[in-house]
């Protein structure tokens, strides 16, 4: 049986016969409308994300098979958490909180792309990704949640496979996300004030001296980079006026 395969990225639940999918399928003689409808059915749960799909067509019978990949775990976590990106400094900043049911849901969606052999191991893998993104799990740092998973605290929920949240739980998570954002903004303001005080104190010192002091005082790298842009040749030291440029020679 000869087959031809078309691979494409589509937005979950929103595939159309427009390019690139439609023109690629046209020469294969399949019913494009049916293919698009089937893709949308299979990718409905990935709304708002780009999903890799394969359309495998039997060259003789024109029958087709659709296989759907999954977005990266980070993309699924961001969608579930309702955030555009993870924390710039995940060790100190937390941008959202996920319940174990949401972690189980993501683990199931990625079950063919994770290393764990059991659902419990897959859930821990997703928690590990949350840790690197500044996403809390059950209101605590993900590494603490992993310890609780190892201790069996969530065995019953993992075994049940429950992934849906109540409206009350969803509301709580939204309130928690707002609270975390406010806390993160407050910490950023504190760090910025502290960094500016160091700049003032060490005015005229070499940039590497000032940066070391900021690092020693726990100022996050993004704030240091924001306040201490890379120096170029001829730039003044922080707090000093730039040197006057030499006049160009007249021809």
The architecture of the domain spanning 3-68 is 2-Layer Sandwich (3.30)
What is the total residue count of the chain?
A: 251
| Alpha carbon distance 77, 79 (integer Å) | 5
Quick one: tokens of 74? 């980070």
What string of pLDDT tens digits covers the 251 residues of the chain? 689 999 998 988 999 999 889 899 999 999 999 999 999 998 887 888 888 899 999 988 999 999 888 888 999 999 999 999 999 889 888 999 999 999 999 998 887 777 778 999 999 999 999 999 999 999 999 999 999 999 999 999 999 888 888 889 889 888 988 999 898 889 889 999 999 999 999 988 899 999 999 999 988 888 888 888 665 444 444 444 444 545 544 44
* Domain boundaries, given as residue ranges, for the chain: 3-68, 73-165, 185-227
Question: What are 224-229's contacts with CB under 8 Å, separation 24+?
Answer: 224/195, 227/192, 227/195, 227/196, 227/199, 228/199
Kindly state the greatest CA–CA separation across the chain: 84
Q: Could you tell me which residues are beta bridge partners of residue 66?
A: 55
pTM of the model: 0.64
Report which secondary-structure segment, H or E, holds 10.
strand 3-11
> Residue written as tokens 């399928």?
25
Contact 92, 220 (CB under 8 A): yes
Which CATH superfamily does the domain covering 73-165 fall into? Ribosomal protein L11/L12, C-terminal domain (1.10.10.250)
């Amino acid at each position: 049986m000869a087959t031809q395969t078309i691979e494409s990225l589509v937005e979950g639940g929103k595939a159309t016969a427009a390019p690139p999918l439609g023109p690629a399928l046209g020469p294969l003689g399949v019913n494009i409308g049916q293919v698009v409808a089937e893709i949308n059915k299979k990718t409905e749960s990935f709304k708002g994300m780009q999903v890799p799909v394969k359309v495998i067509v039997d060259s003789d019978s024109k029958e087709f098979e659709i296989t759907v990949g999954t977005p990266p775990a980070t993309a699924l976590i961001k969608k579930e958490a309702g955030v555009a990106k993870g924390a710039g400094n995940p060790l100190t900043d937390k941008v959202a909180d996920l319940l174990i049911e949401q972690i189980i849901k993501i683990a199931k969606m990625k079950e063919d792309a994770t290393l764990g052999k059991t659902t419990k191991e897959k859930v821990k893998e997703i928690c590990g990704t949350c840790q690197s993104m500044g996403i809390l799990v059950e209101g605590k740092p993900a590494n603490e949640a992993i310890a609780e998973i190892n201790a069996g605290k969530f065995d019953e929920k993992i075994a049940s496979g429950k992934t849906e949240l109540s409206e009350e739980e969803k509301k709580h998570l939204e309130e928690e996300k707002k609270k975390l954002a406010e806390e993160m903004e407050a910490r950023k303001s504190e760090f910025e004030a502290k960094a500016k005080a160091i700049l003032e104190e060490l005015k005229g010192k070499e940039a590497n001296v000032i940066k070391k002091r900021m690092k020693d005082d726990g100022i996050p790298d993004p704030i240091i980079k924001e306040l201490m842009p890379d120096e170029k040749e001829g730039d003044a030291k922080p707090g000093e006026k730039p040197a006057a440029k030499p006049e160009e020679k007249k021809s």
